[in-house]
Amino acid sequence: MEDETLATTDFKLSSDEFYSPQPEGYVIGKTKYVVIIGSVISGIGKGTISSTLCKLLHDRGLHVEPMKLEAYLNVDSGTLNPYRHGEVFVLDDGTETDLDLGSYERLLGKNLTGENFITSGKVYQRIIQKEREGKYLGRDVQFIPHVTGEIKLAVRSLAVKSQADVILIEIGGTVGDYENMFAIEALRELSYEEGKENVCFLNVTYILEPGSLGEQKSKAAQLGVKALMEMGVQPDILVCRSESKMRDSIKSKLSLYANLSPSRVFGAHDVGNIYSLPSVLRDEKFDEAICQVLHLQERFPKKDNSDLHEWSKRMSVDSDAPEITIGIAGKYLGASDTYMSIIKALEHCGFALKRNIFVKWIDTTVLEKEDASVEEVFHGIQGLIVPGGFGSRGVEGKILCIQYCREHNIPFLGLCYGFQLALVEFARHVCALNRAHTTEIDATTPYPVIDILPEQKKVWTKGGTMRLGGHDVHIKFGSDAERIHGANKIRRRFRHRYECNPEYIPSLENGGIVFSGFDSEKKIMQILELPGHPFFMATQFHPEFTSRPDDPDPLFLEFVRISGTDV
């Protein structure tokens, strides 16, 4: 690539038609790229395929760095409703992201940063700032080359910072969405500039299997590939998701239609345990095909599958293993992705304890009706989680659930909002502070046990303004929290505006609550526990965000263990 513009940096932007800035120290070919694009329908497991490929390449010895490129105009995921987009996953640096970043972190066992997550809103924000600063040298700012150039700059900046061998870029949505067309175009340009041996395009598509026909149909997948080709992108690898195993006739048809060797067309049908997917796809030479496209097979020769087989074996539980039923008293019920990290954290505990974990969802709005029976709702439940959330809907029902756990010795774990509501319940029913509440719900409560953080009182905007990301938690000597964590200081991730009101700490402690975790200045209470109860603990932080398949969060693990014993 001889063009001078390819040698520019972000600090000296070209006025030429070809705008493609590069960060200082960038070398073409040093980092390779895999671009993962979906077609036919969303929600087919593009993030799972991306995470699996991360795991495969990492196991092969490559330094892998994932990136999610979302098309929506939000700057981050913080203001998105979990019903619409799944849970908001918080990174250690405080970035509020898509739940796929959680999948990447769990399978790679590493912390990611905001540079691993790009949205259209973030790209536009950067462009407008540069335009206001006069950095485009009088040019009219356009989608091509400026928006596409900014995306390429973000990708290459991650390459320089991480020094990764391969960056996996998952594009949100599907081919044909208006909002992600410029993202696909940017990465088509990246392939042109970097050279074909440095960029691999992977299309995750879906094979329909209408129940009325009883056979697989490939036409929708063909049209998805056609739409991608019409944008100038020839996929190098095709991954075909399906309910049942893809038939050879479908594979042959797609091979011909997509202009690909059959060895580059892979089936990925539904499996009972997604942790077996890496070893299944390695058996089909999936990562080998990627390495061949990127000319990496000599530097990183193929491995046998023994390590991955052993890993997937550890990440499984026999179907006849003992069962534990955990209740989740949540607000965002009816969609599996809304509490993804909690479900995964429980799953990790199941692997460690070799127990099958079942979740019973509790709609707390039902408990607020006059004829509701808390006892009936708790039938069969061995432990309860009250997760994070916002707003008033179902709050009184959650408080009833917490009270029932406290009074009937049922193991209880509160997370963020669950921590705050546990204090409200305790203040009302143990400390006799009638009408105690959080000022988030009742600004006129006579006993504001939970109040807004002091630094939040002058904050009026919503996006990215909470107390976010990783903070140290100091743990009280001799407490259950110290015993469980085996440490006097841990680091966990937060996402909140409200806290335990310091004025009520003495009253709560006199009633029997032990605050066993706090910040360095002991101003923000971060863990509570109730001595004498089999397990009654809650955290202002989100331990589920740092749980890993082979390293479950200690608090979750102890909660599940005790829930599975007779108490």
CA atoms within 13 A of residue 70's CA, in its CB half-sphere: 23
DSSP string, 497-510: SEEE-GGGHHHHHH
Question: Does residue 251 surpass a pLDDT of 80?
Answer: yes
Give the per-residue pLDDT at 484.
97
Question: Does residue 8 surpass a pLDDT of 60?
Answer: no
pLDDT tens for residues 106-154?
999 999 999 999 999 999 999 999 989 888 877 888 888 899 999 999 9
Give the per-residue pLDDT at 183.
93
Provide the Cα torsion 493, 501, 522, 480; round to 10°.
-70
Give the per-residue pLDDT at 522.
80
Burial zone of 554 (CB within 10 Å; 0-12 exposed, 13-18 middle, 19+ buried)? middle
Taking the C-alpha atoms of residue 69 and residue 167, their distance in angstroms, rounded to an integer, is 12
Question: Does residue 227 surpass a pLDDT of 90?
Answer: yes
> For residue 241, what are the β-bridge partners?
206, 268
Q: What percent of the chain has pLDDT over 70?
A: 94
Residues in the chain: 567
Provide the Cα torsion 101, 107, 108, 110; round to 10°.
60
Provide mean pLDDT across the span 311-320.
92
Question: Does residue 426 surpass a pLDDT of 90?
Answer: yes
Superfamily of domain covering 9-314: P-loop containing nucleotide triphosphate hydrolases (3.40.50.300)
Structure tokens at 336: 């599996």
Q: Write the CB contacts of 145 (distance below 8 Å, at least 6 apart in sequence).
A: 17, 18, 19, 20
Question: Does residue 567 surpass a pLDDT of 90?
Answer: no
Spacing of C-alpha 208 from chain mean position: 27
Round the CA-based radius of gyration of the chain to a whole number and report it: 26
Give the per-residue pLDDT at 14.
45
pLDDT, averaged across the chain: 90
Q: Write the CB contacts of 73 (distance below 8 Å, at least 6 apart in sequence).
A: 119, 120, 121, 124, 179
Taking the C-alpha atoms of residue 97 and residue 116, their distance in angstroms, rounded to an integer, is 9
SS3 content of the chain, % helix, strand, coil (to 5): 40, 20, 40
Structure tokens at 506: 């003495």
pLDDT tens for residues 180-225?
899 999 999 999 999 999 999 999 999 998 877 778 998 989 999 9
Query: Which amino acid, residue 455?
Result: E
pLDDT tens for residues 362-391?
988 888 887 778 899 999 999 999 998 877
- Looking up tokens 């972000």 gives 10
- Report the top-level CATH class of 323-563: alpha beta
**Which residues belong to the active site?**
416, 542, 544
CA atoms within 13 A of residue 434's CA, in its CB half-sphere: 0
Structure tokens at 453: 């953080």
Give the per-residue pLDDT at 334.
60
CA dihedral sign, ordered 227, 154, 195, 206 = negative
The answer to whether the beta carbons of residues 150 and 183 sit under 8 Å apart is no
Give the per-residue pLDDT at 462.
64
Q: What percent of the chain has pLDDT over 90?
A: 69
The ranges assigned to domains in the chain are 9-314, 323-563
Taking the C-alpha atoms of residue 240 and residue 269, their distance in angstroms, rounded to an integer, is 8
Give the per-residue pLDDT at 9.
45
Give the per-residue pLDDT at 331.
72
The answer to whether the beta carbons of residues 172 and 98 sit under 8 Å apart is yes
pLDDT tens for residues 325-344?
999 997 767 656 889 999 99
The model's confidence at residue 2, banded by pLDDT at 50, 70 and 90, is very low
- Looking up tokens 């700490």 gives 505
Question: Does residue 234 surpass a pLDDT of 70?
Answer: yes
The model's confidence at residue 500, banded by pLDDT at 50, 70 and 90, is very high
Give the per-residue pLDDT at 330.
79
Q: Is 309 left (phi over 0), alpha (psi -120 to 50) or beta?
A: alpha
**Fold agreement (9-314, 323-563):** yes
